[in-house]
Chain A
Amino acid sequence: MATLAMRWVLSHPAITAPIVGASRPEQLADSLGAAEQGALPRDLKTKLDEITHGWRSVDADR
């Protein structure tokens, strides 16, 4: 899940570098794995964009 989420963020054309924090070193593994795998395939990114649209709309209203 964390890897998928990170790859989704990495797929955004306007994003340079997601900032990942950790409270334990082993938490970095998923993020590093995501960076290794890179951007998501376009269809999967589109699907995730659709699923999350509601949350991002709320964000825009704040």
Chain B
Amino acid sequence: MHHTKLGRTGLRVSKLCLGTMTFGLQCDVAQSNAIMDAAAAGGIDFLDAADVYPLGGGHNTAGRTEQIVGDWLKGKRHQFIVATKCVGQMGPKPWDLGMSRKHILDAIDASLRRLGTDYVDLYQLHGYDQHTPIDEALEALDTVVRSGKARYAGVSNWPAYKGTTARRRRRKVRASSSAPQAPAIRHATGTTRNSKPSTPCARWPRKRD
């Protein structure tokens, strides 16, 4: 398996990342473990989860995927680059979702508990929340990175122009040094649940130089 740099960071990750959203609903624990075993045997050392996973569930099933990944990672956490995300609805309260400072700080702690680790390597906002000022979200991500709970921060499923805004605001609010280089996951369209959709993990849009 070849490795490549994650976005514009210095972190080297495998050229394939294993998505985990099938774990806990489409796949039971045994099947999920078998998929992670097969991926690891094939040289994949980059895992992507999200607090709301498994796909297709509600906030009653949210967290199952991270729990399965965390249990599998026991004793081998340091052999993998672990990514997860927040923003999706995690509970019944109106503040149990989104990218408010409160929710981001609650969500990272809950993810770390389920994943059984002190830190994730990459923490991403799983979507854009128009109700939260972008500066608030960036500062919260900065807090997460500076507290050591994540090594890098990024976004997922954002329109590219929002990423550009975030880059510009990041300089104003002096958010974490990792944020400028954070990757953006753009979920591919037209993918189906049971096939092998690819989700490109792209760099921030940047000026050609």
- Asked if B148 is at the interface of the complex by the 8 Å CB criterion, the answer is no
29 contacts between A and B (CB under 8 A): A6-B198, A12-B200, A12-B202, A16-B5, A16-B6, A16-B202, A17-B16, A17-B46, A19-B18, A19-B198, A21-B18, A21-B20, A21-B21, A22-B39, A23-B22, A23-B35, A23-B193, A28-B35, A28-B38, A28-B39, A28-B42, A28-B44, A31-B16, A31-B198, A35-B1, A35-B14, A36-B1, A38-B2, A59-B189
- Asked if A54 is at the interface of the complex by the 8 Å CB criterion, the answer is no
**In which size bucket is the chain B interface?**
35 or more
| Number of A-B residue pairs at CB separation under 8 A | 116
**In which size bucket is the chain A interface?**
20 to 34
In residues 21-46 of chain B, which contact A (Cβ within 8 Å)? 21-22, 26-27, 31, 34-35, 37-39, 42-44, 46
Which residues of chain B come closer than 8 Å to A25, judged between CB atoms?
31, 34-35, 37-38
In the complex, given contacts A16-B203, A17-B14, A24-B35, what are 12 additional A-B residue pairs having Cβ atoms less than 8 angstroms apart? Answer: A9-B200, A15-B200, A15-B202, A16-B201, A18-B200, A19-B200, A20-B16, A21-B197, A22-B18, A25-B34, A31-B16, A55-B190
Chain B residues with a Cβ under 8 A of chain A? 1-2, 4-7, 13-22, 26-27, 31, 34-35, 37-39, 42-44, 46, 48, 183, 185, 189-190, 193-203
